[in-house]
């Protein structure tokens, strides 16, 4: 990961971004920016919990930064709130699903970047984007700059022309970034250069910050590290982590087949025939073994965006890590069929393909992460209506 700037530079950057947002609002609406009193009345109930969470994150990185945060909020006219609660806001409510399922099959071209990142191309409100296909989350998330990557002022104008958002909330990804986002329900999106056109919900990040000194500086850098400009979370919202809901689920498309071997993301109402179906999409109760050992019951987050995933220390023993050449098998049940299998090694970037060994994982509240490996082996279908996955082993 690239390094961070100083705390002062981050705080100044937030203030400058606020000024640009106000300027773009005036440009887009043809009116003067609202006065401070108007913003206090409008934003007080919305921003209190968000500012509190942001302040806590900055203070965790550098306790001395708390004073700088307070001074900055005062200078922006945001420091006069009666209280700053520490509870995080709930994710914005998802749009109601379509009244009737959508029929038809749509084969969107899919490519893999950096050996672990399945991606599709999408034009979102006119802006060209490369999206990470992530079964481990739900919701289409892009930074506001992605609305027009060539011109930040045009991107800001495009943001305000989307109208008033239906929600504002906070979320984050395990790579070490948290962010505030606005949800817009009717954003034109074209997947795969005309393969599938939708007008559905998009979550647009407007402010982000790292969660540790080793984390990416902001949401854009987090995405750049994965060679993408946004995240298409396609997990079922009943079990995936959010932040909201996949637009494909919201709009009633039935389900999605992630087919890396076939180089396509197939949006279709029902699963192809055959295969082995398990409950949960993406988190399922499965069994895992190492090098032919005893099958151990675990909760597995079958996560196409999880790089090489995780494995519980209980399956590794005293070694503390998995060596190259270890074979991992995952089954449906103690005596059920094999779902996927792979042998650890190194990829084309000379990275180990072994999952990270962690303790205390494999439970319903803290599942292991499959990583991208099962998707590299075979197609996997996520069924939104039934919250199931169907594996198609070789």
CB contact at 8 A, 284 and 374: no
Confidence of residue 52 (pLDDT cuts 50, 70, 90): low
How many whole angstroms separate alpha carbon 92 and alpha carbon 201?
A: 11
Confidence label for 175 from pLDDT (cuts 50, 70 and 90): confident
Q: Per-residue confidence at 176, pLDDT binned at 50, 70, 90?
A: confident
- The SS3 assignment for 17 reads helix
Instruction: Say if CB 113 and CB 132 are below 8 A apart.
Output: no
> Whole-angstrom Cα distance, residue 307 to residue 291?
21
**What gap in Å lies between CA 188 and CA 194, rounded to an integer?**
12
Instruction: Answer for the pair 203, 172: CB distance below 8 angstroms, yes or no.
Output: no
> For position 4, what pLDDT does the model report?
24
Q: What is the CA radius of gyration of the chain?
A: 22
Comparing CA positions, the residue from 86, 266, 244 lying closest to residue 169 is 244
Q: Which of 31-40, 65-74, 334-343: highest mean pLDDT? A: 334-343
Question: Can you tell me the mean pLDDT for 29-41?
Answer: 40
- Catalytic status, residue 134: yes
Q: What are the beta bridge partners of residue 264?
A: 109, 259
Please report the pLDDT score of residue 56 as a whole number.
55
Q: Are 150 and 76 in contact (CB under 8 A)?
A: no
For 122-147, write each residue's pLDDT tens digit.
Answer: 999 999 999 999 999 999 999 999 99
Q: Check: CB of residue 134 under 8 Å from CB of residue 305.
A: yes
Q: What is the per-residue pLDDT across 298-342, written as a single tens digit (0 to 9) for each?
A: 999 999 999 999 999 999 976 678 989 999 999 999 999 999 999
With cut-offs at 50, 70 and 90, classify the pLDDT of residue 102: confident
Q: Which residue has the tokens 């990829």?
A: 347
CA-to-CA distance for 374 and 94, rounded, in angstroms?
A: 29
| pLDDT the model gives residue 392 | 98
Convert the pLDDT of each residue in 145-161 to its tens digit: 999 988 999 999 999 99
What is the rounded CA–CA span in Å between residue 56 and residue 89? Answer: 14
Sign of the Cα pseudo-torsion (186, 192, 196, 197, in order): positive
Cα–Cα dist 51/344, whole Å: 43
- Check 40, 74, 99, 134 and give the catalytic one: 134
Domains of the chain, earliest start first: 7-75 (no CATH), 107-267 (2.40.70.10), 276-391 (2.40.70.10)
- For residue 231, list its beta bridge partners: 132, 141
CA distance 40 to 82: 11
**Rounded distance, CA 281 to CA 276, Å?**
13
36 pLDDT above the threshold of 60: no
Binned at pLDDT 50, 70 and 90, residue 84 comes out as very low
Q: Over pLDDT 90: what percentage of the chain?
A: 67
Q: Which residues pair with 357 in a beta bridge?
A: 311
**pLDDT score of 317:** 79
DSSP for 73-123, please give it: HHHTT-S--S----SPPPPPPPPPPPSSPPP--EEEE-EEETTTEEEEEEE
Tell me the average pLDDT across 351-366. Answer: 94
Q: Please give the mean pLDDT across all residues of the chain.
A: 81
Split at pLDDT 50, 70, 90, the class of 59 is: low
pLDDT at 247 over 70: yes
Higher pLDDT, 322 or 48: 322
- Assign 361 a pLDDT band (cuts: 50, 70, 90): very high
Q: What is the DSSP string of 19-81?
A: HHHHHHHHHHHTSPPPPHHHHHHHHHHHHHHHHHHHHHHHHHH-TTHHHHHHHHHHHTT-S--
Closest by CA position to 335, among listed 297, 373, 280: 297
Rounded to 10 degrees, what is the CA torsion of 136, 379, 281, 172? 10
DSSP letters of 175-242? TTEEEEEEEEEEEEEEETTTTEEEEEEEEEEEEEEESSTTS-SSHHHHHHHTT-SEEEEES-TTTS--
Contact 181, 206 (CB under 8 A): yes
CB 373 within 8 A of CB 255: no
Q: How far apart are the first and last CA of the chain?
A: 36
């Amino acid at each position: 990961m690239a390094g961070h700037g100083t705390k002062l530079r981050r705080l100044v950057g937030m203030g400058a971004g606020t000024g640009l947002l106000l300027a773009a609002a005036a440009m887009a609406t043809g009116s003067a920016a609202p006065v401070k009193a108007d913003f206090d009345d409008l934003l007080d109930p919305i921003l209190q919990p968000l500012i509190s969470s942001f302040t806590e994150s900055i203070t965790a990185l550098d306790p001395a930064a708390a004073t700088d945060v307070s001074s900055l909020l005062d200078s922006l006219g945001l420091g006069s709130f009666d209280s700053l609660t520490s509870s995080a806001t709930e994710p914005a409510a998802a749009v109601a699903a379509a009244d009737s399922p959508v029929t038809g099959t749509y084969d969107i071209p899919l490519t893999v970047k950096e050996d672990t990142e399945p991606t599709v191309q999408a034009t979102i409100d006119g802006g060209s984007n490369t999206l990470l296909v992530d079964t481990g989350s739900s919701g289409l998330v892009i930074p506001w700059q992605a609305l027009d990557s060539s011109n930040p002022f045009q991107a800001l104008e495009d943001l305000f022309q989307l109208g008033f958002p239906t929600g504002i909330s906070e979320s984050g990804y395990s790579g070490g970034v948290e962010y505030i986002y606005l949800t817009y329900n009717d954003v034109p999106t074209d997947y795969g250069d005309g393969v599938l056109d939708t007008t559905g919900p998009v979550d647009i990040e407007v402010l982000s910050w790292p969660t540790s000194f080793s984390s990416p500086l902001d949401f854009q850098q987090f995405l750049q590290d994965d060679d993408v400009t946004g995240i298409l979370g396609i997990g079922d919202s009943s079990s995936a982590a959010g932040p909201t809901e996949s637009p494909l689920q919201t709009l009633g498309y039935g389900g999605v087949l992630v087919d890396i071997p076939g180089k396509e993301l197939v949006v279709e109402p029902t699963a192809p025939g055959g295969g082995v179906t398990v409950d949960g999409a993406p988190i399922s109760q499965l069994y895992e073994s190492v090098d032919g050992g005893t099958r151990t019951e675990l909760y597995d987050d079958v996560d196409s965006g999880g790089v090489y995933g995780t494995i519980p220390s209980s399956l590794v023993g005293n070694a503390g890590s998995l060596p190259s050449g270890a074979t991992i098998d995952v089954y449906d049940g103690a005596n059920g069929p094999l779902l996927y299998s792979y042998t650890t090694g190194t990829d084309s970037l000379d990275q180990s393909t072994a999952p990270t060994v962690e303790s205390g994982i494999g439970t319903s509240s803290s599942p292991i992460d499959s990583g991208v490996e099962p998707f590299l082996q075979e197609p996997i279908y996520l069924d939104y209506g039934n919250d199931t996955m169907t594996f198609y082993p070789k």
